[in-house]
Structure 1
């Protein structure tokens, strides 16, 4: 498995369970407030005009074409100017999509926003979220590099407003596109990191070990076997892996197995026994115990819950 395929593999394990977005036309003065929603990603795209986004004490100006996201669902606000006392204040909270395509504010300068929320499956179990800042600003997020993004956002807004059969599933897949685009654009903007999971991926020997693990997490990997495969001593490999990745090698293997199993439970038809075997467990009971310890529910309960979840349709 190539190094960048490891990143692809990680992206595949963090999928959108549900998503919604709405278009807001705002005339200055205006403000939009978003409540904290842990486990979900808030995002905003500026299609026309400009806006200011504030999270805590920090404010950032967004021009036309900018995309901003909050990977950990932190509370924040957007407005026409820092500290704006808007003539109208819209508030978004919870899993319910608000009515879309409505004007807010006064009679001044016009801004058009697409605002939305993407709920991710088991994002806390992935190294990916830790790579991202609490506030992810992409000045050229809607750019010539991604001519499909604006139509995708438009389609997501349409599916949010639709009550057609399957709209929740379609919206989730569109949410995947938006999420992956934001992650790729952010990672492409980074200089070579000195530490962390990305630094591990770029390290010749630890990156090779990650590739081996992701290529076949069901293998009964040992620290000695991984160290030998990348031409390192056991102790040096364990220390370097832990320093760069942030956890010991076999902890990483166990977590990856649970991510793979969760994906199979959500999206496949295999039995729990078959899934247990596919991620390296000889016993369904041992797998079920490990899965519940990692994700908080037994495999069967997890499958039932995930297959019947989604955001309510827009009001």
Structure 2
């Protein structure tokens, strides 16, 4: 498994709520800030997107995919002219009693626009490494009013599942939405916006990406810069310099960060002794692990486990 795959595996996408918005001009829909990520795809028609913290409204046309990794509040509207009353998205949801993925309608009797809209919910983490590394806005532009090929195929499946009540539909939607996120991140990494000093691009570097993969895959190992440099086939000095330039911090700090990230996940999800948690993330004793965890997280492993709902085994 490559380093980027490891990162996606570690963030634990818990659920995705997906809706098909059938809109007719004039219309405007306000979406509150969401503790997760948000995506929307213009299936047909056009719209304007206004995002909190971004001054310039963004025009969207058919085939455009937008992801807001920070889940900031935003408004979709058919036009910047006129002043239709803003329909609150949460109110549209409350007006629909169906618990299954649904079609939501709003607006007047004018030109139609269809938008696939969804929200990603992740396992609560002290720091989500992927979302923290992404900018406030990701956009994949369509081609001549149509979605790019991989997006068009995914949307066809997703649209089919959102308008049916077939068993397992939500599981399918979750997987399809996850594909949208992966593909958007891939596109961002290849984009010029992700410059050389970009942790996500570091994942694709032949040597540094392999070192990150080793750290992610085996946090229990006693990794040193010398050992990692040898494993990826470059000198220690070159490795240390390139790692710091690409990742933004030295290897030992990144290793500790990942170990604490992994430890917090284990504490939340597994009923195993703290000594076993310590061993699984590379600490020889429970005491040394507890000290490091408290320095990093601001509380002891036991207190963190108790606060996050997992009792000690």
For the aligned pair, the TM-score class normalised by the smaller chain equals 0.7 to 0.9
1:144 pairs with 2:141: no
Compute the TM-score of the two structures, normalised by the length of structure 2: 0.76
Aligned to 1:232: 235
Deviating more after overlay: 101-110 vs 180-189:
180-189
Aligned to 1:312: none
SS of the aligned residue for 2:57 comes to strand
Check the 8 A contact 2:260/2:293 in 1, yes or no: yes
Displacement of 1:174 in angstroms is 5.5
Match among 10, 16, 19 for residue 19 of structure 1: 16
- 1:93-112 matches, within 5 Å, as 99=96, 100-112=102-114
Aligned to 1:311: none
Find the aligned partners of 1:116 and 1:157 in 2 and give their Cα distance. Answer: 14
Find the aligned partners of 2:71 and 2:194 in 1 and give their Cα distance. Answer: 27
Find the aligned partners of 2:26 and 2:228 in 1 and give their Cα distance. Answer: 59
Question: Could you give the per-residue CA deviations for residues 87-127 of structure 1, whole angstroms, max 9, x where no partner exists?
Answer: x4222369x87745232112110011222221223566344
SS of the aligned residue for 1:193 comes to coil
Displacement of 1:19 in angstroms is 2.7
Find the aligned partners of 1:258 and 1:266 in 2 and give their Cα distance. Answer: 12
Find the aligned partners of 2:174 and 2:309 in 1 and give their Cα distance. Answer: 18
Q: Which has the higher contact order (CA 8 A, sep 6+)?
A: 1
SS of the aligned residue for 1:114 comes to strand
Match among 28, 39, 43 for residue 43 of structure 1: 39
Find the aligned partners of 2:156 and 2:264 in 1 and give their Cα distance. Answer: 31
Find the aligned partners of 2:258 and 2:172 in 1 and give their Cα distance. Answer: 27
Aligned to 1:206: 208
Question: Could you give the per-residue CA deviations for residues 38-64 of structure 1, whole angstroms, max 9, x where no partner exists?
Answer: x41121122222211122322222222
Structure 2 unaligned blocks of 5 or more: 97-101
Match among 194, 197, 217 for residue 196 of structure 2: 194
Displacement of 1:72 in angstroms is 0.7
Deviating more after overlay: 13-22 vs 118-127:
118-127
Question: Could you give the per-residue CA deviations for residues 168-225 of structure 1, whole angstroms, max 9, x where no partner exists?
Answer: 8777556534433432343344588322214433445433432332342211112343
Deviating more after overlay: 52-61 vs 257-266:
257-266
Find the aligned partners of 1:202 and 1:272 in 2 and give their Cα distance. Answer: 34
1:68 pairs with 2:66: yes
Aligned to 2:309: 304
Compute the TM-score of the two structures, normalised by the length of structure 1: 0.76
Find the aligned partners of 1:239 and 1:144 in 2 and give their Cα distance. Answer: 39
Structure 1 unaligned blocks of 5 or more: 306-315
Q: How many residues align?
A: 294
Deviating more after overlay: 70-79 vs 178-187:
178-187
